[in-house]
Amino acid sequence: MIFAKNIAIFRIFAFVLCLILVVSGLCFMPETHVSAAETIYYVSPNGNDTTGNGTKNAPYATLKKPFSVMKNGSVQSATVVIMGDLEPDNKQFWREANLAGAKHTGFVTLTGKDPVSGTVYENATLRYDSTGIKGPTKVEYLELIPCRSSCFINTCGYEFIFGEGLTYSNFDVVMHDGIGETANKISVDSTNTTVNGGKVAIIYVGGGYPEKTTEGINGDCRLTVNGGTVGSAKIGFDRYATNHTSGKIDGNVFITVNGGTVSSISGHNLNDGKVGGFISVVLNNGTMASCELPGADDGVYLIFSSTHGKVMSTNTAGLYEYEVDRGFDCYVDGVLAEGGLFEVDPGKHEVEFLRSVRIDVSQLERAYAAGFPDGTFCPDEKLTRAQAIELVLNATTEKAEVKGDYTSSYTDIAKSDWYYDAAAYFEYINALPVEWGGEFCPNDEITRAEFVYIVDGLLGKLSGSVKLFRFSDVNPDDPYYTSIMNASYSGYINGYGDGTFCPERALSRAEAVTIINRYLSRVPISDHVAFDDTYGHWACADIMAAATSKGQGCWDYIEGSAGAEFIMPESGTSSEDYIKALYSQSGDLSGAAIRNAVDVISEQMKEDILYTPNTLDIYGDKITGTVYYISEKNGKNLSGYGKSPEKPMRSYTALLNYYTIKSGDAVLYERGGVYRQGNTVTSISGVVYGAYGEGDKPLIMQSKKNYADPDLWVETAWENVWKCTESLFNVGIIGYDHDLFDYSSASYDELYGNIYNMNTQGFKGPADMNVDLAFYSVLSSDVALYNSYNPGATGKIAANELYVYSTEGNPGDRFSSIEIGEKYNIFTTGNNVTFDNLAMKFTGAHAIGFGNCKNLTVTNCVFSWLGGSVLRAATASSSAVNYGNAVEIYGSCNGYYVTNNWMYQIYDTGVTHQYSDGGVNIAQEDVHYTSNLIEYCHWSIEFYNAQKTNEDDSNDAVDYTRDVYDYYNVCRMGGYGWGSITRFRTKSAQMYCGASLSLNYDQYTEYNIFDRCAGSIIHLPYNSTETDNKNFYIQTIGCRMGNLKGTVMSCNYDSYDHIVNYMGDENAIVVVIDE
């Protein structure tokens, strides 16, 4: 019995020991693991469906096989491990596997990662045509290969997880999250999809292809994004055929973004444009998306939340749960929330998770640092933890307010210690790092990361302009990552020149006070020296600001200041100098300081462009023939005039009547004059067109006259509609009371008329006009359309009539100036032509519009208020297309130099080389866009060269673009100009755009500033090969950063990584505007 008892005890002990080993071993298992009871099937290119049994040593050969086995064995959940490039000749094996399988209630995971060993198999693929799953499904660690462009993953109402480690090739990944044609599902109860990684181009939250409005989702739809990239989340239904209708979502829609990127969230083909319940979109952790949400019977809720917490939707409209990090509080629209719940009305709401203790720095006027009795400060001496928290306490809090009131739990400090009150107080308000544990270690040197964590927690707040970048030695897993990045974004701290922050490096006394001063907006204004060892020290001024009170005059409080401001180089004379200086200083500048610098640089560029020397001073060596002179004020159209500034010709047309202008000649217009060309000027090859004299640049306009004459306008049968008595061809722009030579900021906001075009945005004729000063120019093709839309109407229209809607009577009486631009380029054609020192405006077409050409040079010119004429007229089934650029070559070019010009308020594009019609071989090469200021255009820089089907990848391909250099340009406020507004197309603006490209190489885009666009900052196709380097990207959060060489991204706090990873601009400066 004793023996038996010992055996029993031994067995019990052995069982407990095994249990301990199993439990402890869990910590060392691979991230992906399965329970012992879960079924695993292996499928390999080297497997065999006949002899294999689905084990790792005897895998199957096709995905269809394990699905068939599951069906026959009634297996409800399994992991299928794909061990390589499966079935390379079968483009739709996932679809076939789903068709072969049965419905399942548990998860089926398709993975390229072995759940037992953790091995990730190379070239693990999942090929498919549109496929519908039959139960909860997860895919991960695979290369997805859709077999065609319109190829969908149909979730069919089952839970679906788009996991980590996913890539794709051939075509974009698109999901029908709900009903789908392939799945033969006309309605499902609900949807629930999670994206943890990879890239999905579009998710239709609802599904696709309803054929009746009763089809769709009976209940709720849920989409959660934790990682990866989603291009568009469309609430509603996909459609392509005429028998497809809108669909229903009878329940609620929950979209939660916790990480990754979602570029846009919008509605699409919903019954009545809304859902039957409520819509709740929660963007956590500072994530952003462009949101144009549909309606909802029970309200639409859009929640933006910051870091240090998380917001979660509930099943009750407007009621949300939240979680906060230790030491933080939740504020909803600026109001403190308590109890883990808050309730809001429909609309947009901001949720911030802020430190429980916040300090008003504007009231902190005392000195907070002191030197030593021997008259030194010891600026390079390292701070201990005890010294650091005492310094921070002095800077932020009255010591008397905390003395003796708090008790510390740290085991290695006593109440008698001189720093005890600071340690106890900061411990109480959760301001100290939890990584310190139970010991304070007062004599340990405090690290840069630890100090930033403490100070940022007490004083930090994100600036409205945030400079994004990454330190190579600070990772998201680091405990102080968020504090370091918040501090760097707002300009409170800087790293080192090698891109590091050195978070573990001990902090010096000088570094400490410099950091605190920035948080306190304490700006040194005196270089007074009070310490023996700070003279000449880099932080001398900051040390004095810390060691003196405000009344001593060594510093000032400047709200929002976080350090250095841009210093314009004294010897700078060009945008190259200015932008390079800004780039070199940018490491020390905050986002706000960079934006201020862009304003300064832009103003200086305007001045440089407006006041350039005359053309003979610039191109004298290029002008080898006769110089001709034209003057509006002093010229005469007589024989013997035109060859000297003393006896100039009055007009270019007259000049051509008297002289034969040849290559090598120059035609110079006198400054300060207005030259009304009327029709297009055909420029002459080899000629320089420029300026002479003094004053403003000569202004060349297509507008034939000032139409502010009451005799030029008559009333019509339509109320408030006036018709011009003169015939005008395809008018694109009308400006009212413009100051023609005003180049101040007021010139951005001149008065203009909105455009009406036939069959465009619902317009059917003059009776539809209802906006003051808007106009309608009748095209010849409009007449038949008007008659078909208005049968029996008493009012008739005729080609080349111009109508203006004026609520205050005759336009000729209302204004002293009316300028009208028709569809005539101001200049066109010619090779080896130079335009210099000219101003051009008021044409409905291009200012300079060339076809195939060589060696076109445009320098020192100003282009504004032009474009808008109809390029393609409306038909019964299509709207009109308008156009108008400052400088364009349409076709081939070899030698195209556009430098030091100011272009603003252009209907379409600042400068462009383009071709899209096909059928002609197009070569675009040796293109230089440099030092241009381009503002308020729909496109700032635009280029495309559409690829034909017979091209290859060789340098001898049919179409190609090469040797393109975009340097030192400043592009600003894209999509905010008149041409974008009048056509309600601000969101479609693309600041820097290469829409479609054939073969392209040797293209370089460097040192440019791209500053805000209502649409996309960048639009480059996947095959763009250009090199991008040291550019500035400034965009408003939630707007689109754009198509970054094939990857569409919105502007958010990951935009720096997106620019680096997708654009390849590893030296980019990215500023996010979050105001």
Q: pLDDT tier at 426 (50, 70, 90 boundaries)?
A: very high
Query: pLDDT value at position 22?
Result: 37
The enclosing H or E element of 79 equals strand 78-82
CB 673 within 8 A of CB 633: yes
Task: Give per-residue pLDDT as tens, 557-606.
Answer: 888 776 788 999 999 999 999 999 999 999 888 899 999 999 999 999 99
**Greatest Cα-to-Cα distance within the chain, rounded to the nearest angstrom:** 138
Adjacent-strand bridge partners of 863: 840, 903
Q: Is 736 helix (H, G, I), strand (E, B) or coil?
A: strand
Rounded CA separation 1065/597 (Å)? 21
Q: Which is more confidently placed, 990 or 28?
A: 990
Copy the structure tokens of residue 207: 């599904």
Query: pLDDT value at position 13?
Result: 40
Out of 2-11, 90-99, 1019-1028, 1041-1050, which region has the weakest mean confidence (pLDDT)?
2-11
Query: pLDDT value at position 530?
Result: 84
Question: How many of the other CB atoms lie within 10 Å of CB of 31?
Answer: 8
Q: pLDDT tier at 45 (50, 70, 90 boundaries)?
A: very high
Residue whose C-alpha is closest to residue 650's, from 634, 639, 667: 634
Mean pLDDT for 331-345 is: 96
Mean pLDDT for 686-698 is: 98
- In whole angstroms, what separates CA 975 from the centre of its chain? 13
Copy the structure tokens of residue 892: 């081939």
Q: pLDDT tier at 491 (50, 70, 90 boundaries)?
A: confident
Q: Which is more confidently placed, 463 or 389?
A: 389
CA dihedral sign of residues 601, 602, 603, 607: positive
Copy the structure tokens of residue 901: 């010009």
Adjacent-strand bridge partners of 28: none
Residue whose C-alpha is closest to residue 422's, from 446, 395, 448: 395
Please give the DSSP secondary-structure letter assigned to residue 37: T
Query: pLDDT value at position 785?
Result: 97
Query: pLDDT value at position 112?
Result: 97
Residue 183, CA distances (Å) to 133, 176, 177, 221, 806 in order: 8, 10, 11, 18, 57
Q: If you compute the radius of gyration of the chain from its CA atoms, what whole number of angstroms results? A: 35
Copy the structure tokens of residue 942: 């635009």
Q: pLDDT tier at 30 (50, 70, 90 boundaries)?
A: very low
Query: pLDDT value at position 573?
Result: 94
Query: pLDDT value at position 24?
Result: 39
Query: pLDDT value at position 954?
Result: 53
> Edge-to-edge strands of the sheet including 309-313?
309-313, 319-324, 341-343
Query: pLDDT value at position 184?
Result: 59
Rounded CA separation 337/45 (Å)? 57
Query: pLDDT value at position 1075?
Result: 75
Q: Count helices and strands (H / E) in the chain.
A: 18, 72
At residue 683, does pLDDT exceed 90?
yes
Helix ranges restricted to H, 551-694: 575-585, 591-610, 615-619, 652-658
CA dihedral sign of residues 757, 759, 761, 765: positive
Query: pLDDT value at position 918?
Result: 66
Q: Which positions ≥6 away from 854 have C-beta within 8 Å? A: 831, 832, 893, 894, 895
Q: pLDDT tier at 357 (50, 70, 90 boundaries)?
A: confident
Q: pLDDT tier at 949 (50, 70, 90 boundaries)?
A: low
At residue 679, does pLDDT exceed 50?
yes
Task: Give per-residue pLDDT as tens, 311-329.
Answer: 999 999 999 999 998 778 9
The enclosing H or E element of 448 equals helix 448-459
Mean pLDDT for 505-528 is: 92
Q: pLDDT tier at 183 (50, 70, 90 boundaries)?
A: low
Q: Which is more confidently placed, 101 or 360?
A: 101
Task: Give per-residue pLDDT as tens, 609-621.
Answer: 999 999 999 999 9
Helix ranges restricted to H, 631-742: 652-658
Q: Are strands 1016-1019 and 1069-1073 parallel, antiparallel or unpaired?
A: unpaired
Mean pLDDT for 790-801 is: 93
Please provide the average confidence, as pLDDT, over all residues in the chain: 92
Mean pLDDT for 953-962 is: 71
> Rounded to 5 degrees, what are φ and ψ at 419?
-105, 5
Rounded CA separation 268/248 (Å)? 11
At residue 31, does pLDDT exceed 60?
no
Mean pLDDT for 64-90 is: 91
Query: pLDDT value at position 385?
Result: 98
Q: pLDDT tier at 422 (50, 70, 90 boundaries)?
A: very high
At residue 11, does pLDDT exceed 60?
no
Residue whose C-alpha is closest to residue 821's, from 847, 844, 804, 845: 844
The enclosing H or E element of 853 equals strand 853-859
This model's pTM is above 0.85:
no
Q: pLDDT tier at 181 (50, 70, 90 boundaries)?
A: low
Mean pLDDT for 705-732 is: 98
Rounded CA separation 513/548 (Å)? 12
Mean pLDDT for 143-164 is: 93
Domain extent listing, the chain: 30-147, 149-317, 361-557, 716-813
Q: Which positions ≥6 away from 952 have C-beta within 8 Å? A: none
Q: Which positions ≥6 away from 28 have C-beta within 8 Å? A: none
At residue 1065, does pLDDT exceed 50?
yes
Q: Which positions ≥6 away from 937 have C-beta within 8 Å? A: 886, 903, 904, 905, 906, 908, 909, 910, 974, 977, 979
- Percent of the residues in the chain that have a pLDDT greater than 70, as a whole number: 95
Rounded CA separation 890/849 (Å)? 8
